[in-house]
Structure formats: C-alpha cells, structure tokens
Structure 1
Amino acid sequence: MFVDSHCHLDKLKTTETEGIDKVLAAARAASIEHMLCIGVALDDFAKMQEIVGQHNDVSFSCGVHPLYVAKHGFNERDLANLCAREDVVAVGETGLDYYYDKEHITTQQESFARHIEIANQVKKPLIIHTRDAREDTIDMLREGRAEKCRGVMHCFTESMDMAEKALELGFYISISGIVTFASAEELRQVVRQVPLERLLIETDSPWLAPVPHRGKENQPAFVTHVAECVADLKGVAVEEVAEVTRNNFYNLFNIKRQTA
C-alpha cells in the first residue's frame, strides 16, 4: 500500500468535471491508501475542505504558496486559526520561488517567516516549496527554528548539499514524478544518497505526471511509478519503498493509519 504525500485534488480537471469519486476510486484501485491534499491559498480552503473533507483516506494542509502570496495575500490571524484546526495536518504549501517570481522576493520571505512561526505555534510540520532559492530557504528555516516543527522539502529538485542541510533540520525529502524524467539525473543521484527512512513520495498532481504518463493530467494513482523508480535507484523491492515511505508519512504528519 502506498501514500501520496502531496497532491492538489481540488485542482484536477477530472475533479471539476466528474467529481472527486473517480479520482479516489482510481487511487484506491492502485493501492493508494492515503493522500495529502495541499492548500495553496486561504481563499481556496473552504472549497478544498468541501471536496476532500469527508474522506477518511484524504487529509489536508493549509497555507499560501509563494507564487500565490503576492496576488492573494493572506491574513495572518486567519492562517493561524485555520492551521490550528484538528483536521489540518500541516502548514503549507509555503516557501520561496525565485525562478518564477523575482519581483516579490521580500513579500515571499515575509510570508515564509510567518508560516514557520505558525508551524511552531501549532506544532505541525511545514510543507516547503523551493526553487532557485536554496540558500535563503535553508537560512530562513534555521532562523525560524524550523527543526522544532520539522517538515518536508516537497517535489525536491535541488542539490545534495541542500538535501543534507534539510535533513540536518529534521526534514524529509519528497520525490515526485520528475525523478522518472530523462533530464533528472542530478535528482536521481540525490535519491540514491538520501536514506530511504528520510524519503517521501508524491505526485504533485495534477502536474508532473511521471513516465509513462507524461503529457496526461497527473493523479494520485500514478505515485506507484515514482515508488518503482525509487526502488530501482535504491536497489530494493518496491514493497519496501511503499512501506518505509508510508511509515515516514504517518510519523511526520501524525496521522493514524486506517486499517481494515
């Protein structure tokens, strides 16, 4: 049984046109036992909760994505109150993205700092998006004492040096379908070196569908392909990858596993 540690079920076109049931049925048929649906803007939170909140095998987070914060902004009190809810398991998606948005770096940093503070207050892990901001991301996590709440570097595409610094802070490294892309050899080297006990797997659906589904809308059922690639790189059975990353997920997000 697998876990998809990072997906956006409310962003799938299939969800909009046919409802969530088809996506969840496909995931369950592929032995996906739990999915974490990630919040990217406070304005979307109510809709996301409505879509996924009634399913025992779906949890959700609350946060403001660094590429959303300049446009959408957020009320710090509202963010703190939502993150404190019992049914919210993590703070984020938050972080820094200097690749797509160099104009609002200060705004991103201010938002990121608030998310770290709130995560420590509510004692829930952070979900970090980082791109072209390696040094600042690690520096801000250190300055904010993020080792107290820990978290995950989601959809990791950075260097082994950054991975090591994140691991030192108690963070996990999450691997998406990018690992299956021909151009992702540096990422595959990271996967080979990071202990399996510190890895998670994810889809980041509806984006970044893994081989052999590139070009299609991604969905949680496809996380099995990520697991297969990680297993090949580690030289272990896919069942071991499934079990270890599943346990990592439940431990990090303090979710009780549902057993039949």
Structure 2
Amino acid sequence: MNLFDTHTHLDAPQFDEDREEIIQRALDAGVSRMINVGFNRETIPSTMKLAETHDFIYAAVGWHPQDAITMQEGDLEWIASLCSHEKVVAIGEIGLDYYWDTSPKEIQHHVLRQQIGLARELKMPIVIHNRDAHEDIVKILREEKASEVGGVMHSYSGSWETAKLCLNMGFHLSFGGPITFKNAKQPKEVLAQVPMDRLLIETDSPYLTPHPFRGKRNESAHVRLVAEAAAQIKGVELEEIAQITTQNALERFGIV
C-alpha cells in the first residue's frame, strides 16, 4: 500500500506525548508521504522542523483565516522566504472561515488575496480552507486568478455545483474523515462525481476522525480508512484509490 496523507497537523499539541509513535504507525499503515500544514506564527516553525527531520514529510505554509487578524507586516515576506525551501510544496492553508468568529470577514478577504497573489508570483499551488463561505471563496479565487496556480480544496464540504467551479479553475478536491460518516450525504455524492485525476485524500489529523474512531484523536494512519471509503464510493479496489491519489498528490505538489 502506498498512501499519501495530503493534510495533517502532526505538530499539534495533541501529539506531544507520542508524536514519533504516531508517525511510525502511519508508515506501518502504508502511508509513504504526508504534508504537514503550518498556518500561523506558532505552527509554521514546528511544521518546518517536522519536514526537515523526516524525509517523507513535506510542508505547506500559510496564514489561516481564523488567524487572519494576527497577520502582521513582514509575515507575508516570511512565508515567501520559506517557499524557497525544498520541502515546502504549497502555500496554505489559506481561505475563509465564516463559522468561527475570530477574524472579521474583510480582514480574511484581504489576507487571502495577499496570499493568492504571492502564490501566483512564486508559482506555488495553494491549499484552501473553506468553511461556510463557498460563494465568496469562488469569487475571490476567480478575481485573483488563482487558476494560474491551482491547488487543493482541503476537506471539501461544498456542493457539486461549487465543486465544478473549483475543478474548472484547476483545483483538486481532497476528502477526509467525513466521507466515512453515515449522515455525510453531500461529500459522498460529490466524491462520486469527481474525476479520478482530481481526487486527493487526507486526515486533517488530529481533527475529523473517520468512523469507527469518530470522537477520538485522528492520526495519519487513518487515511487508509478514508481511502477504503473512497474506493467503496467510486466502486474500485483500495489499491487503485491508493495508487491514483498518491500519483495525483505527487503531481499536484511537484514532488519527485
């Protein structure tokens, strides 16, 4: 098995007691590569440390919409400087979050536009966080010409109509634990229609834990459960989903 967890947070404090054991468990489960995501002043350095310590861990760095209000002068230049690192493969996670009231919408919009502009300048793919902001996300991606770099709609939760708009802008759609939930009708319906060459899988660990471990801490080894669910929805073998999603990730993030 050759699985790729395209979105994880192994530097989260939930893993402070057993981080290396969690990483080894992922390897034992057939997870050959992972992308750890640094999204603010605290997590970007710890993400870089993980990527530099482990050959099979890559980094995405950006400013999360929940933390948009904390972004200061010089932070965009900091992200830009890190993008020259051989292990940094994307700018993210960036986007909009209208669920948590932690940063005003206008500030979220400004920070997102800044980072898309940086991605276009550096020719880096972007990883989009979108919670309850589908219309505005599509609008900003279009206005900022994000199709020039493309990227990933992380933990996709929108409709098929929105998915088609994102696919037309060159984005891949990534799915995680929710596709294993009995009541998650929409993500399953969307995944069933996504072209195989635009499909990615992830855990977003320690969050969004798949069934049958829902409610417990998530970990990268559980990306196999996501792959199993995706295989069932697509009507193909697990090995095919693993092979295709890994190849998609390697191509999307420019990993040789």
Match of 1:24 in 2: 23
Paired with 2:191 and 2:13, the residues of 1 have a C-alpha distance of 28
Secondary structure at the counterpart of residue 129 of structure 2: strand
Residues 1:161 and 1:200: Cα distance change in structure 2 (over 3 Å): same
Q: Quote how far apart the aligned CAs of 1:73 are.
A: 4.6
The question of whether the paired residues in 2 share the 8 Å contact of 1:8 and 1:204 is answered with yes
Deviations 1:112-162 (A, max 9, x none): 001101111111110000011111101111111111111000001111111
Match of 1:44 in 2: 43
Q: What TM-score, normalized to structure 1?
A: 0.94
Give 1:77-226 correspondences, 5 Å limit.
77-101=77-101, 104-226=104-226
Paired with 1:36 and 1:227, the residues of 2 have a C-alpha distance of 16
Match of 1:5 in 2: 6
Q: Quote how far apart the aligned CAs of 1:86 are.
A: 2.8
Q: Quote how far apart the aligned CAs of 1:79 are.
A: 2.2
Paired with 1:5 and 1:61, the residues of 2 have a C-alpha distance of 10
Match of 2:58 in 1: 59
Please, what is the CA RMSD of the aligned residues?
Answer: 1.4
Letter in 2 for 1:45: I
Paired with 2:94 and 2:242, the residues of 1 have a C-alpha distance of 26
Q: What TM-score, normalized to structure 2?
A: 0.95
Q: Quote how far apart the aligned CAs of 1:197 are.
A: 1.2
Q: Quote how far apart the aligned CAs of 1:84 are.
A: 3.3
The question of whether the paired residues in 2 share the 8 Å contact of 1:156 and 1:175 is answered with yes
User: What residue ranges of structure 1 are gaps of 5+ in the alignment?
Assistant: none
The question of whether the paired residues in 2 share the 8 Å contact of 1:12 and 1:205 is answered with no
Secondary structure at the counterpart of residue 90 of structure 1: strand
Any runs of at least 4 consecutive aligned residues in structure 1 with deviations exceeding 4 A, and if so which?
none
Paired with 1:103 and 1:64, the residues of 2 have a C-alpha distance of 12
The question of whether the paired residues in 1 share the 8 Å contact of 2:65 and 2:103 is answered with no
Secondary structure at the counterpart of residue 128 of structure 1: strand
Paired with 2:103 and 2:222, the residues of 1 have a C-alpha distance of 35
Residues 1:52 and 1:77: Cα distance change in structure 2 (over 3 Å): closer
The question of whether the paired residues in 1 share the 8 Å contact of 2:153 and 2:174 is answered with yes
Moved more, 51-60 or 186-195: 51-60
Paired with 1:167 and 1:160, the residues of 2 have a C-alpha distance of 10
Letter in 2 for 1:69: A
Paired with 1:103 and 1:12, the residues of 2 have a C-alpha distance of 23
Deviations 1:149-190 (A, max 9, x none): 110000011111110000000000000101111221011100
Match of 1:236 in 2: 236
Paired with 1:222 and 1:85, the residues of 2 have a C-alpha distance of 28
Letter in 1 for 2:124: K
Deviations 1:201-231 (A, max 9, x none): 0000000110011121100000000011111
Percent of aligned pairs sharing the same letter: 37
Moved more, 106-115 or 48-57: 48-57
The question of whether the paired residues in 2 share the 8 Å contact of 1:42 and 1:63 is answered with no
Number of residue pairs aligned between Structure 1 and Structure 2? 254
Residues 1:235 and 1:159: Cα distance change in structure 2 (over 3 Å): same
Paired with 2:122 and 2:41, the residues of 1 have a C-alpha distance of 17
The question of whether the paired residues in 2 share the 8 Å contact of 1:12 and 1:206 is answered with no
